[in-house]
Amino acid sequence: MNRRITFHEMDHSKPMENHINEKLNKIEELIKDPEWATPKYVELFLNAHPLHPHHEVELILKTPQFNLVTQDKGTEMYVVIDNVIDKMVRLLKKEKQRVLDKKQKVETEKNEFADDKYTL
């Protein structure tokens, strides 16, 4: 999984980067299944406002099947990072369930057609 972390209007922080990578491992574990989407690209934008203590974080996950985006704002950067990653985990679980439901629906329609009493 390719990861890109962009620090905007703030200095690069190794402890913050380690925290982010530790949290991003949750997302990587969710889509580790080889049958399902393998992430191609994860991009995290960290934006600290110099005039007021409001920070913005945006997380973009790009896979062959879909693109997901989450964002959050707050006063504590670590809390905002955790919130964005938790939102992405919930969104990813929903998307994964949607894809699985769609796949099962197609299989059930085929099964209903095969069980039709008029087929030869």
Rg (CA), the chain: 20
119 has a pLDDT exceeding 60: no
Distance CA(35)–CA(103), nearest Å, equals: 12
Question: In which band, very low, low, confident or very high, does the pLDDT at 22 lie, cut at 50, 70 and 90?
Answer: very high
The better pLDDT of the pair 51, 79 is held by 79
Domain ranges of the chain: 2-114
User: Mean pLDDT over all residues of the chain?
Assistant: 84
Backbone angles phi, psi at 26, to 5 degrees: -60, -45
Where helices occur in 1-120 by DSSP H, the ranges are: 14-30, 77-114
Q: Dihedral of the CA atoms 33, 25, 65, 89 (nearest 10)?
A: 110
* Architecture of the domain defined by 2-114: 2-Layer Sandwich (3.30)
This prediction has a pTM of 0.80
120 has a pLDDT exceeding 70: no
Q: Which amino acid does the sequence have at 44? A: L
- The closest alpha carbon to 22, from 7, 55, 49, 44, belongs to 44
Distance CA(29)–CA(84), nearest Å, equals: 17
pLDDT tens for 62-106 read: 888 789 999 999 999 999 999 999 999 999 889 888 877 877 776
pLDDT at residue 76, as a whole number: 93
pLDDT at residue 72, as a whole number: 96
